[in-house]
Each structure stands twice: as C-alpha cells, then as structure tokens.
Amino acid sequence: DIQMTQSPSSLSASVGDRVTITCRASQTISSYLNWYQQKPGKAPNLLIYAASSLQSGVPSRFSGSGSGTDFTLTISSLQPEDFATYYCQQSYSTPLTFGGGTKVESK
Amino acid sequence: EVQLVESGGGLVKPGGSLRLSCAASGFTFSNAWMSWVRQAPGKGLEWVGRIKSKTDGGTTDYAAPVKGRLTISRDDSKTTLYLQMNSLKTEDTAVYYCTTDGLVVVPPACDYWGQGTLVTVSS
C-alpha cells in the first residue's frame, strides 16, 4: 500500500498569511494526488485534483503543485473561512490512501 | 444538483451486522463510480472501498482492514449504493461517508460527499 505523509500535522496562522502544507508519497504516484478541506462536523470538500487542478467553485487562493512523490498545497492569503483540516489522498492505485491531515488554526 | 444521502447507521454489538444505504440523485448514477470513506471519532479519513460502474465492470476494491467483512454493492434501478457490514469490530466505529468517485473530475477523486452516517460498535 502507498503511505501518504503530511506535514505539519498542525499549524497556527493569521488571516492574510501564506500557508503551505506538504504531502509525501511512499512511492511515485505521478500526479494522482487530491486535496480536501474539512470543517468540524462537516463532510470533506474536494479542493484540488490531479495535483494542481482547481475543483470548480474553489477560490483561486488555493493552489497545488508537485509530481512523483512530493506535493504541496498553498493558500496564498489565508481567509477566516480557511481555518480547517486539510487532507491529501493518492488515487494512483487501490487501496486509495489519505494523509493524516493538517489542522490550520488561528494564531 | 448532486445529492447523496446516507442512512442506516446506529449502535450495534461487536460481531453484529448493519447495512448502510446511500440514496443518490441529480446525476446518472449507473455511470458513476462510488466510494465509501469513514472517519473514526477525532481521527482522520480512511478509504473503505469503491465500486465501479457496471459499464466499467462493476468491480469492487477494499481497504485491507475491511476486506472480507464489508461489502459494497449498488442497485442502479434504485440509484442506491450499499455497504453491508458484517462481523463488526469496535474499531469500525466511525462516520461513514458515501462519495462519488470521479463524477466530474478526471482522474477520479471523491468529488461529491454525503453528510455521513454514524456507526457505533459497542457492547
């Protein structure tokens, strides 16, 4: 199985900050990497698919990059509604696997 | 509008069984790949398994912890996805989400999610 490792597991940031979350795969997954946002008590929401493609309706301050084993989710200017937990997921091969999550908290 | 509505969750004893349903609407269900994802209380997301469309073979894949105990099926005439859960363990306690798998994005990702249903396995 492909293991997905996210870092950091949590971070504190302020509105307007640039935030970067990384995700590393235990083997190459090409660009089969997705990012999700989850707010407390809610279902996750797809933000980025295929490493860098923005899902419809997602604000352009979110961006994704990377290929192979190393990937990044960037929020260019953190907004109040962005405080949440973020997960990466590989869709290269089954079993599909998620990273452990990164909780973005208010500083 | 795509809608996924899970039902069937509840309290069950270890070793017991439960069947979850996911009623789908707003899209051509028979053409969709569908997945189940779960989240234990206070924990991260865990992919449970997936079923492809019948056009693509209707095959299923599962995560190792559930293989042989949990079974995904679909009834395209009722636009409903199922998760049959047998030999339940306390570690199966989680919110179970139904998702579409690549309905609007390629390559596939979990692009639409239901609200989830809670399964509690406890004596």
Percentage of residues in chain B with pLDDT exceeding 90?
95
| Buried-exposed string B87-101: b where 16+ CB fall within 10 A, e elsewhere | ebeeebbbbbbbbbb
Percentage of residues in chain A with pLDDT exceeding 90?
100
Assign A105 a pLDDT band (cuts: 50, 70, 90): very high
Of A32, A94, A98, the CB nearest to B107: A32
pLDDT digits (tens, 9 = 90+) for A39-71: 999 999 999 999 999 999 999 999 999 999 999
Least confident of B29-33, B43-47, B63-67, B105-109: B105-109
What pLDDT, on the 0 to 100 scale, is given for residue B107?
A: 87
Nearest Cα residue to B111 out of A53, A68, A71, A19 = A53
Cross-chain residue pair B109–A94, CB shorter than 8 Å: no
Least confident of A29-38, B4-13, B27-36, B100-109: B100-109
Query: For residue B56, is pLDDT > 90?
Result: yes
What pLDDT, on the 0 to 100 scale, is given for residue B36?
A: 98
> Chain A contacts of B49, Cβ < 8 Å?
95
Task: Name which of A46, A85, A88 to mutate to probe chain B: the one with the most chain B Cβ atoms within 10 A of its Cβ.
Answer: A46
Query: For residue B106, is pLDDT > 90?
Result: no
Of B46, B50, B109, the CB nearest to A34: B109
Of A34, A87, A95, the CB nearest to B63: A95
